[in-house]
Amino acid sequence: MKQLAKALVVKPGSRMKLGDVDPGDTHGHDKAAAAEQLQKNLDRMSVLQYLLYAEARRSLLVVLQGIDAGGKDGTIQHVMSGLNPQGVRVTSFKVPEGAEKRHDYLWRVHNAAPEFGQIGIFNRSHYEDVLVVRVHKLVPKSVWEKRYAQINHFERMLTDNGTRIVKFLLYIDKDEQAKRFRERIEDKAKNWKFSPADLKEREHWDEYIAAYQDMLRNCSTKDAPWYVIPANKKWFRNLAVSQIIREELEAMHLKTPEPAADLSAIKFE
C-alpha cells in the first residue's frame, strides 16, 4: 500500500500536469478489497490518534482542497469517522469577514492550526488565496503570485514547530461534477447542498484547473507535500486518503510518554 502514496504525491519542483491524471483511476484496487483496507486504516488511525493525544508534543494538519462537489465533506465523514472527536478540529474556510478582513490572509489560518496532541482538518484553506482570488481577480497577479512563497514559509514554520502537514487535492472531472450536481438537484435530501452559484463557478472550470496546477507545482514541498487523489470513485478517494494519513501518523513514531512518577511505589489500602 505504501506504493499508493508514491504514485499520488506531487514531487517537489515537478512540472506535473493535472491533464495527465485520470480522475477515475483506482491504481489497481477494487471496491470490495478497498472497503476492508479502509476499515483497517480507520482502526489503526484511532490507535495512532490516541498516541498523538497522549504524547501532546506534536500535531497533524490535514488540508483538503477540491473543486465544488469534489468530496471534501464526504472525505471528512468517511475517513475521520473512527477518530475521537475530542482530538479533532475541523475548520471550514469561507469568505473572510469581520476581524479576518482586517488582518493578513494567513492570520485566521494560523489561528486555526491544531494544538499539540490534536488533528486539525481544513475544509478549504489558505490556498483559496491563490485559487478563488486569482480566478475572480480579487487581487492583482503581483499580489497572489507572491503568496506561494509566503505559504511555503508559513508551512515550514509550522512543521519546524511540531505540526506535520499533509495536503490533498480531491480531483474529479467535469462530467462527474455535473453528475453530482444533478444528484443534489434531484434528491430533496441533498437540495440544500446545491446553489445556483455553483453553476457560475463551473463556468471557470479551466481557470480553476490552471490555478490548481500552479498551486501544486509551487507549494508541494518535502515537509508539506501535496497528493492528487483521483476522486471520481468515492471508495477509492476514501481508501487513498486514509492510507496516506495512516502512513503520515506512523512516520511520526508516536509513543506514550513516561509516567510522571514511579507508579510501582503507589499502593491502595
Across all residues in the chain, what is the average pLDDT? 96
Does residue 268 have a pLDDT over 90?
no
First-to-last CA distance in the chain?
A: 51
Predicted local confidence at residue 265, as pLDDT: 75
Residue with the bigger pLDDT between 125 and 195: it is 125
Quick one: which of 30, 98, 90 has its CA closest to 63? 90
Q: Which H helix or E strand runs over 234? A: helix 234-250
Spans of all domains in the chain: 2-168+215-253
What's the pLDDT at 1? 62
DSSP-assigned letter for residue 115: P
Tens-place pLDDT, residues 39-51: 999 999 999 999 9
User: Rounded to whole angstroms, how far apart are CA atoms 238 and 71?
Assistant: 10
Strand order across the beta sheet in which 119-123 lies: 88-92, 119-123, 59-66, 163-171, 226-230
Q: How far apart are CA 155 and CA 223, in angstroms?
A: 8
- Are 62 and 166 in contact, with CB atoms under 8 Å apart? yes
* Per-residue model confidence (pLDDT) at position 224: 98
pLDDT at 152 over 80: yes
Query: What is the tens place of the pLDDT at every residue in 59-68?
Result: 999 999 999 9
CATH of 2-168+215-253, one of 1.20.1260.10, 3.40.50.150, 3.40.50.360, 3.40.50.300: 3.40.50.300
Give the E-state strand segments of 102-162 in sequence order: 119-123
